[in-house]
Amino acid sequence: MTEPHNAPDGLAVGSAEPEAAGVTPAAGAALMSRRFRGFMPVVVDIESGGFNSETDALLEIAATLIDMDGDGVLTRGATHNFHVRPFQGARLDPASLSVTGIDPFHPLRPALPERDALQRIFREIRHAIRAYGCRRAILVGHNAAFDLGFLNAAVKRTDMKRNPFHPFSCFDTATLAGAALGQTVLAKAATVAGISWDSRSAHSAVYDAERTAELFCLICNRFRDSFLEADARARALGWLSEPPPEAESDSPPVT
């Protein structure tokens, strides 16, 4: 991960510039929506100042998009990430900071207020949702309840009205890896799956999100034949292939 002082002013490491107007359909647009019932998986990793999403600071957030090609094969897409300023009155647990190595008040740390960071992340996700013809994003995370809890708490705290994520559904790669690989720790699951792992880079939101994305794609791709068989059976039963009602969009077109 590049050091913070090399990032443009106010823009965190690895983050993309605002997207251009218009949406170009992705190669696998017709398949992504059907694969996940109208939801688009987005890997999110959050580094925080503790374990309590209501009281502890959200310090870094990374969102890695999932791409799909014309054959329905999933791959890791672009990552958008921001350093985040602790909200007023936020708790910062020294033990958590020692694990992440984050200095929340370092003068060269280009951190944004929570609301600004979420707006930029959500804009990129809404753009991808439309490119793939999906209706809503679904959070993918390793021990996803932690990341979804912090995300929802920040959305509530900042009074965000255009959250592209489903508020409670998620895909947990700890569960998926336990079932598919017999490992639930991210480092061990990645290693046995043949994904490179650098322990010195762990606990960076970008690194963890990208490794989690690669793990999610690997497991889903291995389950592809199972999905195709189930999809064919669903069609034979006459079930509608349209996304479910709960996937309906809550945000206007990207401009």
Q: pLDDT, tens digit, for every residue of 58-80?
A: 999 999 999 999 899 999 999 99
Q: How many domains does the chain have?
A: 1
Query: In terms of pLDDT, which residue wins out, 178 or 22?
Result: 178
In a domain, 149, yes or no: yes
In a domain, 128, yes or no: yes
What is the span of the domain harbouring residue 31?
4-247
- Cβ pair 109, 103 in contact under 8 A: yes
In a domain, 153, yes or no: yes
5 is catalytic: no
In a domain, 252, yes or no: no
Q: 189-205: per-residue pLDDT in tens?
A: 999 999 999 999 999 99
- Cα–Cα distance, 51 to 47 (Å, whole number): 10
Q: Which of 5, 80, 142, 203 is flagged as catalytic?
A: 203
In a domain, 110, yes or no: yes
Q: What is the pLDDT averaged over residues 143-161?
A: 97
In a domain, 254, yes or no: no
At 53 the pLDDT is 97
Both tokens of 154, joined, read: 């920040």
- The CATH number of the domain holding residue 222 is 3.30.420.10
Q: What is the pTM of this model?
A: 0.85
In a domain, 255, yes or no: no
- Cα–Cα distance, 125 to 127 (Å, whole number): 5
Q: Using a CB cutoff of 8 Å and minimum separation of 24, what contacts does 181-185 make? A: 181/219
Query: In terms of pLDDT, which residue wins out, 173 or 248?
Result: 173
Tell me the C-alpha to C-alpha distance, in Å, between residue 195 and each of 187, 198, 213.
9, 10, 11
In a domain, 253, yes or no: no
